[in-house]
Structures are given as C-alpha cells and as structure tokens.
Structure 1
Amino acid sequence: MKGTLMLQTVWITGAGSGIGAALARGFAGAGYRVALTARNEESLEEVAASLPADTSSLIVPGDVTDRAGMVAAAQQVAEWGEGIQILCNNAGLNIPKRRWADLDWESWDRLLDVNVTGALNVIAACLPIMRAQKDGIMIHTSSWAGRFHSANGGVAYGASKHALSDISASLNDQEGANGIRSTALCPAEVATPLLTRRPGFDVSTMKAMIQPEDMAETALYVARMNPSVAVHEIVLAPVRR
C-alpha cells in the first residue's frame, strides 16, 4: 500500500508546528509525498528533519495572505508532486484580545486576514490543479468554535472558523462535479503551542485534550475515504471526565 500512496501528494499549510507538524508526520508515515508551507523556513526544516528517512518532502516557505505567492506555491508543489491530491488547509492564528470589551481592530483584522482570506487564497490556488485532475480532497482545520459559540475562542476567531466551515461546505456544493471533496475538521481544544497563548490558560490540562496526532489520524481517515463519499465535517472533543 505504501508504494501506491507515494504517488499521492499532500500540501500542508501552517506546517511549522502543532497540528500542521503532526499532519506532516502522519501523512509521511503513511507514505505520502509531503509539501510543507509556513512563514518560518527554519521551523519547516525542523519538521522535515523529523519525518521518516524515506519521505519525499518539499519545503515551500510562504504566507497564506500573499495571494500571488500561494498560486506560485501551489504550482511549485504540483510540478514537484505530479499534482496535489490532498490539501491540508491548516494555517491559522488566534489573538490575546478576544472579547468585545477588548476590541482591537488591528489584531482582529490580522486574524480574519489569515484565517479567512488566507484560507480562501490557498483554496483558490489549488482549485485549477484539482479541477484538471478531476480529483482532490481539501481538509480544513476549522474548530469547535466554527460550530458552536466559544467564549474561550473569542469573537473574531469564532467568526473566522464559522466562515471556514461554510467555505468548506460550499466546495462540496459547487466542486463535487469536478471530483473535489471538502472536509472541515472541528476540534475542541487541541494541545498545541497556539493554545498555550490563551489568556489564563492552565498548561496542566494539556494531556487531557485532543492531541495533534489525533488530528492527523482524522485527516488520514478523510484522505482514505471512498471517492464517492464526501465527509462534510468532523467534530471532535476530549472525553469529559
């Protein structure tokens, strides 16, 4: 099976840490070609170095808010990997000022630019490639806050993830005829460096949370699904104890 899967290429944005790094390790371990994108090239090199020795990997530094840059990155990945079979649209951020009482337009605008416009940029860059293939899976890292209001997630973050979940649904509605399927992964708290920056966060609770590796396993489940089936969304939560 591994030899067959090596013919498939996955492009992961936000691949420098947390869920993105786990996605890279999960797909590489399953035999996929792995292309990694994030702003910090050094972090991408560290992730690439952690992959199995026989992994075919490509580092493509870039910022998802750079629309032309994402088009160029997608083309580079497709030429290297003989197409893009799977996109893990994972780049995202949250901010310290999360409540209406702390309204901060500069940081809120930046969050929406990355989490919504950046996600749109990556999708739009991949669509021509996947349409030409008549095949492709887009897996988006949304959030529990993309399904339910979350005071912990914050106003701008929740809005951005609700938007991303709907964007994913729109792809299934409009691009299924082109062989493209889309899934929004909606996890509650995941034990990542991003979470530790939440105001008042208790680091001791990390072990009881969803782990980045759980997200990778979920993404692989979606990637292996029967091509006639679209998994619209998956909501994950830690077991309440």
Structure 2
Amino acid sequence: MANPSATNAVGYHRDLTKKVAWITGAGTGIGQAAAISLASAGMNVILSGRRRTALEETANLVRKFGVEPVIEELDVADAGAIDQLVLRIKEKFGRLDIAVLSAGINVKARSWNEVTIEGWDDVIDIDLNGAFYCCRAALPMMREQKSGLIINVASWAGVHVSKMTGPAYTAAKHGMVAMSESINMEEAIHGIRSCALCPGEVATPILDNRPVPITDEQKEVMLQAEDLGQTILFLAQMHERICINQLVISPTANRAYTSTVF
C-alpha cells in the first residue's frame, strides 16, 4: 500500500494566494523578477526602491496578474524609514510572509588601488546594512505570526572571493550570507527561515557599472533576471518545514571557471 504522506508530497506547492511579500530593489533586475513571479502566484506585493518611475514599471507588470501592488519608495540605508514602512505593512495587511531583500549596488572604482572610503561606505550601507535594517524590522512581525521567510539576495561573491567584484562588495555579500544563517540559528524556534540566495553573473542593470564593459554576447549566456524570479518563487513555495539555508546558482557558462577576469 502506498504511503499517503509520500503521495501527498508529490508536486507540493505551498499556496501563496493573498499572502504578503515585500521586495526591496523591486524596480529592476532580480527584485523586479521576484515581484512578478510572486504576484503570478497570487501574492500581495509591496514594491520598494529608490526610483518611483522604476517601481511604476514593475507595478504595471505585476498588475497583469490581477494584483494591485503597493509602491513604497525607500532608501534601504535609512533604518528609520524602513521601520515606518514595515509598520505600514502591518497596518494594511496585518502580516508579512516573505521578505525578498534584493537592493544592492557596486561601485565602478572597486579594486584596492581605486576604492575610496565613500565608495566602500556606499556599498556596505546598501548591500549589508540595508539588509540588516530590513531583517531587524521584519522579524518582530514574523515572530508574532510564528512564520516567515527571508530571502537575502547575496551573490556568488558571498561564497567565493574574486578580484572582479572588489573588496567592498565581496565583504558585504559575505557578511550578508553569515547574517542570513544567524537568523536561522536564532529564529528557527519562531518558525522563521532565511535563505542566502547566491547567484553568479546575472544580466541585470548592475552590470552597467562594471569597470570592464560586458558585451551583449556575454549577457546572453549569463543568468537572466527571470531565472532568479523563478528561483525565488521555488523557495517561496517550499513547505514551511523546509529551510534552504543557502542556494548557490550560476550560469552553465560560468566565467568564474572559464575567464581570467575573476
């Protein structure tokens, strides 16, 4: 006789209808793709980013799935603004099921012989401190509801050191990976899970700030934003008993393996 629990597990997808997702960096790239994928599963989405026009573009894409997004302009380096935003999420929805923390930058002058104190601070403030502020603000609501998933969009640079990404970005993303796992250590008792999502090269607008320009041919074989959107949806649909602590994903044509640039 078949095991009923095994049979029920086949093809399981957690129902996300009307659940609430907050996405930072939602105006472009991975954040935008995450918003689209989560909305396609019926989630309410809160879109955060620094540029209203970019958020409006994402909002229009989300509306195609019958979801009316909430737009919240935000600089993730502003801890007070994040606290107030999360309060507004609680007032409107009463809960927060998933936080996708995708806001991130890098500077063009990034190597040790070029990076400035200002450049270092900008990267750390957005990529690491910003993620910390968002986690810190989201956790109390998740503790109250005894559930929650935080997806920290880190990087291949968060698990592998390379010259290409520069010391500031590499340090920030390594810190983000460690911070993400510390959430699992302390918050598992509250039903909260955190995943450090670590993609290799993704063809998103952040590439425009590379010291060495990227060709269209190179972009074609990189991961695409929609690949990460699908990955984030996969994480979101996993049963709540499952914690994927870290997920490393790269292009098949991974230049970290094939190029001397890294």
**TM-score over 0.5 for the alignment?**
yes
CA contact (8 A) 1:16 1:37 kept: yes
Any residues of structure 2 matched to 1:91-240 within 5 Å, and which?
91-204=103-216, 205-240=218-253
Find the partner of 1:19 among 10, 30, 40: 30
Gaps of 5+ in 2: 1-11, 255-262
Aligned to 1:58: 70
The match for 2:49 among 38, 42, 54 is 38
CA contact 2:222–2:253 (8 Å) conserved in 1? no
Write out per-residue CA displacement over residues 51-106 of structure 1, whole angstroms, 9 at most, x where no aligned residue. Answer: 22511310111111111110111121232233110000111100001111113111
1:150 alignment partner, SS class = coil
State the Cα RMSD in Å: 1.5
Structure possessing the higher radius of gyration over alpha carbons: 2
Runs of 4+ with deviation above 4 angstroms: none
Give the partner amino acid of 1:105: I
For residue 135 of structure 1, report the CA deviation from its aligned partner. Answer: 0.4
Unaligned runs of 5+ in 1: none
Q: C-alpha distance in 2, partners of 1:124/1:53?
A: 31
CA distance in 2, matches of 1:146, 1:161: 4
With normalisation by structure 1, the TM-score equals: 0.96
Preserved contact between residue 82 and residue 137 of structure 2 (Cα < 8 Å): yes
How many Å separate the matches in 2 of 1:122 and 1:54?
Answer: 27
Q: CA deviation at 1:19?
A: 0.8
Q: Aligned with 1:166: secondary structure?
A: helix
| Structure 1: distance between partners of 2:249 and 2:177 | 14
**Alignment match, 2:260:** none
Alpha-carbon separation, structure 1, partners of 2:196 and 2:91: 26
Tell me if the contact between 1:35 and 1:60 (Cα under 8 Å) persists in the aligned partners: yes
| Kept after mapping to 1: 8 A contact 2:44/2:67 | yes
The answer to whether the aligner puts 1:79 opposite 2:105 as a matched pair is: no
State how many pairs are aligned: 240
Q: Does 1:28 align with 2:39?
A: yes
2: CA distance, partners of 1:197 / 1:110: 14
Q: Secondary structure of the residue that 2:75 maps to in structure 1?
A: coil
Once residues 133 and 116 of structure 1 are traced to their aligned partners in structure 2, the CA distance between those partners, rounded to angstroms, is 26
Q: Matches of 1:36 and 1:19 in 2, distance apart?
A: 12
Tell me how far apart the structure 2 counterparts of residues 41 and 131 of structure 1 sit (CA, whole Å).
31
Q: Check conservation: 1:38, 1:62, Cα contact below 8 A.
A: yes
Q: Cα deviation per residue 1:6-55 (whole Å; 9 max; x = unaligned)?
A: 32000000111111111111111111111000111121111101222511
